[in-house]
């Protein structure tokens, strides 16, 4: 019943009614992994789904904004075009260059890449993916792991529970001090789960190269830092925060020979960064920063708390966001009787 109502609401959305009712909102999407064929990584978006979304936008003459376009809205107060949208992709994996960029270029649309610089330097692969790898390769059914704080966390790996367990372990680690997280993964998680730590980055988590990044920029896309190590800034000491922000800036700057002045916070919930991080960003010369809190970017809002929607795998939800049906939720706070429902929480 709900899906029928949402489909009907999207049908109305095609007329532009919600864009008229809720103007001046820009949906910025965040992609993660994009795979041709049937994705073998959980949560990856099939390339055909992305193609279908971009085809829809192209056929209806949506503008896909660049970072410069967004800056003109936030700094110069330019209006947000009624039919506009923007895309970002986080972390810097090989498929971002090989698959996602190619698809965007078929439509002449820009894509904005946030890269973990130690990943492109092949010094590490992200801690959250290291958790997935360990859980997917373990044959142990149950283990008690000792978190960096000393707290014991029970890991259940009975068949069918891996995704849920991975989420629980990630969430437990998001509120731990993360200074030593990479050492902790090898010394505690991999040992307790009896998984050999890979000597090289596993194929599925391999990065794009710096040559790829340079090529992306030359082809009109944006490439920006997303810290060196992807550790959550709010869990780090002042000195480590400073290094994560400034070193990642200087790596992108020296490899791409320009000032990449936009940032994305790792994992990006409001609790994952704080005002001291924003001060470091401002001092380093960053003029905008994205989080991962669902919502539209608005003219006149803070440039260091830019919201993004996770790109849905379901077209109905995608339409719900781009036609701004989802923006009626802002309105619903004052009109609780509206029978509309919001997107599922992620």
- Which residues of the chain form contacts with Zn ion (CB under 5 A)? 90-91
- Please state the closest distance from residue 311 (CB atom) to Zn ion, in A: 14
- Closest-by-Cβ residue to Zn ion is 90
Residue number with CB closer to Zn ion (10 or 235): 235
- The 3-class secondary structure across the chain, one letter per residue, is CHHHHHHHHHHHHCCCHHHHHCCCEECEEEECCEECCCCCCCCCEEHHHHHHHHHHHHHCCCEECCHHHHHHHHHHCCCCCCCEEEEEEEECEHHHHHHHHHHHHHCCCCCEEEECHHHHCCCCCCHHHHHHHHHHHCCCCEEEEECCCCCEEEEECCCCCHHHHHHHHHHHHHCCCCCCHHHHHHHHHHHHCCCCCCCCCCHHHCECCHHHHHHHHHCCCEEEECCCCCCCHHHCCHHHHHHHHHHHHHHHHHHHCCCCCEEECCCCCHHHCCHHHHHHHHHHCCCEEECCCCCCEECCCCCCCECCEECCCCHHHHHHHHCCHHHHHHHHCCCCCCCCCCCCCC
Residue number with CB closer to Zn ion (33 or 324): 33
Q: For residue 176, which of 195, 198, 193, 153 has the smallest C-alpha distance?
A: 153
The span from the CA of 81 to the CA of 53, in Å, is: 19
- Please state the closest distance from residue 91 (CB atom) to Zn ion, in A: 5
Residue number with CB closer to Zn ion (91 or 95): 91
Specify whether the CB–CB gap between 253 and 271 falls below 8 A: no
- Please state the closest distance from residue 90 (CB atom) to Zn ion, in A: 4
- Please state the closest distance from residue 52 (CB atom) to Zn ion, in A: 25
- Please state the closest distance from residue 226 (CB atom) to Zn ion, in A: 6
Residue number with CB closer to Zn ion (9 or 216): 216
Residue number with CB closer to Zn ion (123 or 315): 123
- Please state the closest distance from residue 342 (CB atom) to Zn ion, in A: 24
Residue number with CB closer to Zn ion (161 or 310): 310
Residue number with CB closer to Zn ion (64 or 264): 264
Residue number with CB closer to Zn ion (90 or 244): 90
- Please state the closest distance from residue 230 (CB atom) to Zn ion, in A: 6
- Please state the closest distance from residue 303 (CB atom) to Zn ion, in A: 19
């Amino acid at each position: 019943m709900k899906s029928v109502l949402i489909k009907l609401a999207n049908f109305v959305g095609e007329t532009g009614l919600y864009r008229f009712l809720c103007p001046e909102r820009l949906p910025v999407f965040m992609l993660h992994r994009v795979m041709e064929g049937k994705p073998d990584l959980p949560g990856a978006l099939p390339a055909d789904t992305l193609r279908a979304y971009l085809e829809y936008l192209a056929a209806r003459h949506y503008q896909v904004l660049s970072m410069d376009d967004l800056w003109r809205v936030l700094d110069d107060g330019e209006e947000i075009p009624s039919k506009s949208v923007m895309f970002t992709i986080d972390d810097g994996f090989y498929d971002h260059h090989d698959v996602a960029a190619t698809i965007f270029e078929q439509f002449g649309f820009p894509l904005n890449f946030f890269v973990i610089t130690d990943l492109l330097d092949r010094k590490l692969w992200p801690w959250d993916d290291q958790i997935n790898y360990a859980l997917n390769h373990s044959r142990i059914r149950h283990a008690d792991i000792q978190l960096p704080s000393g707290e014991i966390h029970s890991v259940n790996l009975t068949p069918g529970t891996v995704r849920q367990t991975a989420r629980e372990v990630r969430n437990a680690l998001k509120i731990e001090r993360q200074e030593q997280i990479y050492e902790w993964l090898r010394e505690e998680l991999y040992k307790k789960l009896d998984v050999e730590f890979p000597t090289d980055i596993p194929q599925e988590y391999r990065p794009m190269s710096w040559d790829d990044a340079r090529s992306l920029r030359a082809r009109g896309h944006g490439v920006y830092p997303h810290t060196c190590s992807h550790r959550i800034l709010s869990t780090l000491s002042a000195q480590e925060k400073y290094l994560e922000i400034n070193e990642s800036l200087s790596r992108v700057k020296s490899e791409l020979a320009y000032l990449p002045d936009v940032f994305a916070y790792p994992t990006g919930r409001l609790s994952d960064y704080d005002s001291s991080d924003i001060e470091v960003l401002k001092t380093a010369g960053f003029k905008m920063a994205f989080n991962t809190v669902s919502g539209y970017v608005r003219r006149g809002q803070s440039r260091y708390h830019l919201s993004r929607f996770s790109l849905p795998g379901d077209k109905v939800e995608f339409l719900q966001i781009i036609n701004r049906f989802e923006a009626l939720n802002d309105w619903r706070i004052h009109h609780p009787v509206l029978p509309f429902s919001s997107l599922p929480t992620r």
